[in-house]
Amino acid sequence: MFFLHLYLQLNDTVYNLIITMKVLKLFLSIIILSICLLTSCKEDQPDVPVLPDLATATGNIIALKNVNVTRTNLDLSSLSLIWSEDDAFGVFYLPGGNNTLVLNNKFTLKGGSGSSLGEFSSSTPIKWVEGEYTLHAVYPYQKIEGTLLTIPVSPSQTQIDSNPKVAGTTLIGSAESVKPAESIQFNFSTPLAIIKFAIDAKETDFTEDNLSQVIFSSDVPFVGEAIYNLETGVLSTEAANGKSVELTFGETQILSQPIHAFIDILPVDFSNALNQLELITDNYSVVIKLDHFKKEIVSGSYYNVAVNLKDLIAAGAVKIIPITQLPVANTYLVKQGDVVHIPVSRAYDVWKDFFNEEFRNIESRVSAELIWQDHPSLISSVTLYDNKNDGRLGWIDVKTSGTEGNALVSYTVDGVVRWSWQIWITEYDPDNGGKTYELASVSVPQLGHQLPTYVFMDRNLGALNTTPGDLNSYGYMYQWGRKDPFPPTLAPAPATATDQGLYDTRLLYDMNNTSYEEDNVRMDPIDGTFTYITRGGLIRHREVNPVFLGTETNTLRYAINEPTTLYFGGGIQYDWYGLGRGNDDLWNDAAQDNSKSVFDPSPYGWRIPYGDVIIGAYGQTIGISPFEGLRGTKFTIVDEKTRGIHSDILGYIPWAGQRNSTDGGFRYESNQTVSPLWCATPSGPDGIYLDIGLPNSGNQVQEAFPAVLMNRAVATMVRCVRYEKEKR
């Protein structure tokens, strides 16, 4: 039995309650509070609630007969309530007829935090008169209006150790036949339900791991606010909308020992629900299907769910995700309806290596958010699994819907974006049978050796198909050296040069499916002047100049913090990176044998093609294009010249235009070239891209330009090549 002894000492201004907590055994729903009431209040105190004598109240006291129903299945062998600093409860009574609470006193913890012995006090005096009354109590305290009590079930719950988490759980009690100066008993019950997950990891790979979090989720809502009617005893859960609870342990739980995880939920019918439990350890995410837990959850009840990992693994009900072995990239290629796991370690590593900043062990508010999606309801959820001991070991789960498209998600620390990732949702899978093209090795005299053989994807990064004329075949645009995508045009290529200008980008959507146009810069086709249009869009444009840079030497920090801002200008070099000499290693790591860099936007196992660099007679870098093998290749115009070209070596290349370096606005440069493809190779202050000229007549392209120099602030398409060093 669970006993609370409350001693209420009354004087003119203050009442102290000393609460001694024993161990709850057998029934949580019956909690006895013994309150000794001593009458010592003055008769003439102003604004003091008066409890009327029943003889004069003529039955106006409403006794909540159905509140304290005993739940015989609420069986806990050991349960201790440890008081915390902010604990408080309320004592009140409910007269009949006017739905107004009287004596709504708040008793706040005064001493004994962290123990089962709590001293509570109230500064509001009570004037007692002779008679019998029905008192009620609510823990934790909340101000009640009328007879409705709001009972929240949080999606984020905490538990100190492997004992039940009771502090914060809503308890409702009533005490009848109340008389001053005599003992009063409150019978408490909870209108919620409690689930105990008994986790046994013996004889598994997890026994030496620490358990930091437990996430219980379902396809039916069981989290949110419920409304309890104090007069009728009816609980309404219509406002429930949350489908998961994250339970965090305050103390390290080692899986070599059995662990009990207690979660509060609202009453719900799980009879046909799909429930799962996820265990977050130092090295793994263990996702468990709870097919053996299907029943209706009743108010005030307690449920014991056995989680024997060895047996569940043998039954095929467990998916094990090795957190420390998740692929690290800036774009994740995922099929519709799948969930992708993104480690956040890169955010920590880049800020330490490039800016000498660490935030892995600080007390910060971290979150994962959807920045944009290019189709409504493309992303079902973005969930951060934060490792409380070391934030670097956390990861983000992005759940996709049944639609193809692209999205951008972020990891934020104290509201600031520290890293972002492109989610490329498509059936195309170049690692498992998806179409690829091979560009054979060629000899380059300036190098003295051959370029390697390149295996290309059959489409641009972010493209959903290779259908001529389909806007979804364009892919996304990237400034040289940046990892974050910018949307392509909303319109097809112009048929003639005079049709150019006034091209807008596609709509983007937030998590609520609110659409946003781009804060775009357009070129007037008549006089060539720029028109700046501000529409509160998700994609913004900003000029790099001394005023903007301030004390910063470059914009790299801003580019990470603001992944949807397209920087243009950048002095005479037109480099988004800054006003001076740019950074040649943003898309390749020269210090690591020109390997894939941390800013490469490609998926895991792929990279932006890199050729090589030679040093000129005056010490300048001269880039060698990886597309050298395309010299002399013939491309065929597909359908119309506005619809792009095709070759047997590289596949389909749409005519998608580009964003210029002087304002970030979108346009087709001319009707003589298709959309260029960036290389990772730098050349002097510029980047290199592949350009292919279009004929004035006929359907054959006679010439490719593998190494066109272009300002790095230009945003255009990329086509990834296989990167064997990351090949799984």
Question: 13-24 pLDDT, tens per residue?
Answer: 233 333 333 222
Q: Coil, strand, or helix at residue 207?
A: coil
The whole-chain average pLDDT of the chain stands at: 77
Residue 665: per-residue pLDDT: 65
Which residues, including other chains, have CB under 8 Å from residue 120's CB and lie 6 or more apart?
6, 16, 17, 18, 19, 87, 88, 89, 107, 108, 109, 110
Residue 350: per-residue pLDDT: 94
Strands 658-659 and 666-667: antiparallel
Of residues 285 and 102, more confidence is placed in 285
58-67, 202-211, 639-648 — which one is most confidently predicted on average? Answer: 202-211
CATH ID of 194-323, from 2.40.160, 1.10.3470, 2.60.40, 1.10.287: 2.60.40
As a whole number, mean pLDDT of residues 628-649 equals: 78
Residue 168: per-residue pLDDT: 64
Query: Model pTM greater than 0.85?
Result: no
Of residues 524 and 307, more confidence is placed in 307
Confidence of residue 9 (pLDDT cuts 50, 70, 90): very low
As a whole number, mean pLDDT of residues 425-452 equals: 92
144-148, 267-271, 386-390 — which one is most confidently predicted on average? Answer: 267-271
Would you say residue 455 has pLDDT above 90?
yes
Would you say residue 674 has pLDDT above 80?
no
Would you say residue 511 has pLDDT above 90?
yes
DSSP 62: P
| Amino acid identity, position 429 | D
Strands 606-607 and 366-373: unpaired
Confidence of residue 517 (pLDDT cuts 50, 70, 90): confident
- Strands (DSSP E) contained in 88-147 are 88-93, 102-111, 117-122, 133-139
Residue 11: per-residue pLDDT: 30
- How far apart CA 201 and CA 211 sit, in angstroms, is 11
DSSP 372-385: EESSTT-EEEEEEE
Residue 306: per-residue pLDDT: 96
Residue 686: per-residue pLDDT: 93
Q: Coil, strand, or helix at residue 592?
A: helix
Would you say residue 425 has pLDDT above 60?
yes
User: CATH 2.60.40 spans which residues of the chain?
Assistant: 194-323, 326-425
Would you say residue 7 has pLDDT above 50?
no
As a whole number, mean pLDDT of residues 650-677 equals: 73
Strands 259-265 and 187-189: unpaired
For the sheet containing 478-479, what is the strand order?
Answer: 478-479, 715-716, 658-659, 666-667
Would you say residue 279 has pLDDT above 90?
yes
Residue 28: per-residue pLDDT: 29
Residue 176: per-residue pLDDT: 63
**pLDDT tens track for 192-236:** 888 999 999 999 989 999 998 899 999 999 999 999 887 777 888
Whether the bond into 327 is cis, omega within 30 of 0: no
Of residues 151 and 109, more confidence is placed in 151
55-69, 92-106, 529-543, 611-625 — which one is most confidently predicted on average? Answer: 611-625
> How large a percentage of the chain has pLDDT more than 70?
72
Residue 482: per-residue pLDDT: 97
As a whole number, mean pLDDT of residues 318-329 equals: 90
- Strands (DSSP E) contained in 270-415 are 276-281, 284-289, 296-297, 302-308, 318-322, 331-334, 339-343, 366-373, 379-385, 395-400, 405-413
Q: Does domain 326-425 have CATH number 2.60.40?
A: yes
- Lowest mean pLDDT, pick from 271-275, 367-371, 572-576, 720-724: 572-576
As a whole number, mean pLDDT of residues 502-529 equals: 69
Measured over the CA atoms of residue 411, residue 341, residue 344 and residue 428, the dihedral's sign is negative
As a whole number, mean pLDDT of residues 644-669 equals: 78
- How far apart CA 539 and CA 719 sit, in angstroms, is 23
Confidence of residue 166 (pLDDT cuts 50, 70, 90): low
Would you say residue 673 has pLDDT above 80?
no
Of residues 464 and 144, more confidence is placed in 464
**pLDDT tens track for 534-569:** 566 788 888 887 777 777 778 899 999 999 998 887
Residue 172: per-residue pLDDT: 81
- Lowest mean pLDDT, pick from 500-504, 516-520, 591-595: 500-504
Confidence of residue 361 (pLDDT cuts 50, 70, 90): low
